[in-house]
Amino acid sequence: MHLYSSEFLTGTSIPFKYTCDGENQSPPLNWQDPPAETQSFALIAYDHDAPEGKFTHWVLYNLPADQRDLAEGVAKQEALHHGVKQGKNDFGEMGFGGPCPANGTHRYFFKLYALDQPLDLASGATKEEVLQAMDGHVLDAAELMGLYGRASF
């Protein structure tokens, strides 16, 4: 399975508009070649270099098995089309919260999971709840890593 964006490549800078300093909207994502048995997808985006440990920026789950992309600027609401649900990020909000490091350049990982079933979770689940519900149901995973750093103020 492969996860990519038309806006940045793995290991390159995430464009300003997808950060808290810009428009704070989610970047477009595409994926291909999931396992044939895939019944749903889940996506978790996090800052690997946050001072307090991994900081969750986006939790999205129950994406349909036939879906292969997410458009730019996914709405920040609990439920989306076809039963797709969003969870709470570590900003305490629903949906995507853009990169916003206090200092230095951080690595931001977008990790997509192919699952053998949809998750039986209500909207608003945390990353930990989604990971627990996925336990034993992950068929494959793909990752995209982008960088973002802010100038010192």
The confidence score (pLDDT) of residue 51 equals 85
Considering just the CA atoms, what is the radius of gyration of the chain in Å?
A: 15
The confidence score (pLDDT) of residue 153 equals 46
Are the CB atoms for 152 and 17 separated by under 8 Å? no
pLDDT tens per residue, range 9-40: 999 999 999 999 999 999 999 999 999 999 99
The confidence score (pLDDT) of residue 103 equals 86
pLDDT tens per residue, range 64-109: 999 999 999 999 999 998 899 999 999 999 999 999 998 899 999 9
The confidence score (pLDDT) of residue 11 equals 96
CATH class of 2-149: alpha beta
Asked if pLDDT for residue 152 goes beyond 80, the answer is no
Question: What one-character-per-residue DSSP string does 110-124 give?
Answer: EEEEEESS-----TT
Domain edges within the chain: 2-149
Q: Supply 104's token pair.
A: 């230095």
Owner of token pair 């490091």 = 101
Nearest to 45 by CA among 118, 106, 122, 104: 106
More confident residue, 132 or 54: 132
**What SS3 state is found at 48?**
coil
Classify the phi-psi angles of 104: left when phi > 0, otherwise alpha if psi is within -120 to 50, otherwise beta: left
Report residue 53's pLDDT band, with 50, 70 and 90 as the boundaries. Answer: confident
The confidence score (pLDDT) of residue 150 equals 81
